[in-house]
Amino acid sequence: MSVGTQRLRDDADRLRAGAIAKREDPKVVDAALAADAARRDLSQRVDALRTERKRLSAEVGALLGGKPAVPATDPKVIALKAESQKVATEMETLEKDLAAAEAQLEDLLLRIPNPPDEDIPVGGAEANTTIRTWVPAGHPAIGAKGEDPATAAAPEHDVVAERLGIFDLERGAKVAGAAFPAYRADGAALIRALINLFLDTHVRENGFTEIWPPILINEASARGTGQIPDKEDQMYVVGRDGFYLAPTAEVPVTNLHRDEILDGAQLPIRYAAYTPCFRREAGAAGRETRGILRLHQFDKVEMVSFERPTESAAALEWLTARAETLLQRLELPYRVLLMATGDMGFVQMRKYDLEVWAPGSKRWLEVSSCSNFGDYQARRMAIRYRTAAGEKPELVHTLNGSGLAVPRVLAALLEHGAQPDGSVKLPAALHPYLGGRTHLAPPTKS
């Protein structure tokens, strides 16, 4: 359950307000309260019947085992047994009703969104707030409407990629379908270089433990992180075996500690993982879907952190800074947005988006989302920690952040690095991962 029953009863007004702020139906809170009341009533009735049956059984036992013993054919014994059977039949019916009521309550609790932090701006995308913007040394500031004199004539990434011969989108579509890209030659090498740069930085400098997780997840894992029921329609389903393709490494990695009590002395626990990611919704046809801007399959390195509740707010800032460091090393202008209530997602309580400036596309491209979920996911997955032996375990706070999503980073690199001769200048951070090469050059015509 994402929202515990005690919180439901004690904090219903905030849950309703949170649902409204996230543009979800607040009536689910009232439905959950009604279901909780019905469940408690049924539970009390079952308990009362259970007590009555025990009393009747004890009375029968006392008669049959007394001195003198009463025979089983005694009318009083027969009457007590009949009454006990009647109680048992009624209890069996109510237990089925109770199980159904508990299932209904659990489903409703899963449909209550995580309330946002109190200082989050209310509204949709128009209410997102720019926290800071960064540009490389020597690069002029980018105007509010995308004015960027340094790269005014930059080509779009798909044009650059065609010159270099590094995408094979048509054959990718032939193999799987639209928005399933194939990369070739320097394109494949660049994808691998970015993944290795991201992982090496997180592991060697930031102290993350690298995980290579499954990319097939079961229903419990999808429910644990909040993909079910909120984003179920966006996931690919392996119908025959009841699996889902991971939409992000957040899902398998966070579920590594499902149903566990962690040692508080080991917190924070921080993981970094690369996976391909699969999402059914890739957007409508149009400019946004050109090249590799919006895909059904894409590569991403994810950061996941398990924190003490008192430290999760600071941990989110730290996590976001780790993603920013990568963009700075790639010399890509970016901005950090605090996402508004209606644009932050169902399960987040606070979320930052990092967007890189793509000068050819003349737009900001999201390459990272860094989120604090509080105890929302941990309650679903029963992930707790204990500070000392014998103390009551508490729910951890879970966080994650893209560090980073590869395709749009690649698109921005192609647009920023494009040179008049058709080559692409690479940032110094990638040189060691590409055999010391400083540029990608178009293939030589024979």
Q: Is 408 a catalytic residue?
A: yes
Point out the catalytic residue in the list 210, 260, 311, 366: 366
Give dist(CA 41, CA 38) in Å, integer. Answer: 5
Q: Is 294 a catalytic residue?
A: yes
Burial of residue 405 (CB within 10 Å: 0-12, 13-18, 19+) is buried
CB 340 within 8 A of CB 123: yes
Q: Is 281 a catalytic residue?
A: no
Cα angle at 116 between 211 and 9, to 5 degrees? 105
Q: Is 437 a catalytic residue?
A: no
CB 302 within 8 A of CB 273: yes
Point out the catalytic residue in the list 312, 369, 371, 402: 369
Point out the catalytic residue in the list 111, 294, 322, 350: 294
* Host H or E run for residue 351: strand 350-358
Give dist(CA 163, CA 173) in Å, integer. Answer: 20
DSSP state of 183: B
Point out the catalytic residue in the list 163, 223, 270, 279: 279
Q: Name residues whose C-beta falls within 8 Å of residue 304's C-beta, 6 or more positions apart in sequence.
A: 249, 250, 253, 254, 270, 271, 272, 273, 398, 399, 400
Rounded to whole angstroms, what are the CA distances from 426 to 204, 216, 325? 22, 34, 17
CB 203 within 8 A of CB 403: no
| DSSP-H helix ranges across 342-443 | 376-381, 406-417
Q: Is 279 a catalytic residue?
A: yes
Burial of residue 117 (CB within 10 Å: 0-12, 13-18, 19+) is middle
| DSSP-H helix ranges across 201-337 | 219-225, 227-230, 250-254, 312-329
Strand partners, 394: 385
As a dihedral over the C-alpha atoms of residue 44, residue 45, residue 46, residue 51, rounded to 10 degrees, the angle is 90
Q: Write the DSSP string, 19-64.
A: HHHTT--THHHHHHHHHHHHHHHHHHHHHHHHHHHHHHHHHHHHHH
Q: How many residues does the chain have?
A: 446
Q: From the CB of residue 212, how many other CB atoms can be counted at a distance below 10 Å?
A: 10
DSSP state of 296: S
Q: How many CA atoms lie within 13 A of 107 on its CB side?
A: 8
The set of catalytic residues is 279, 294, 366, 369, 408
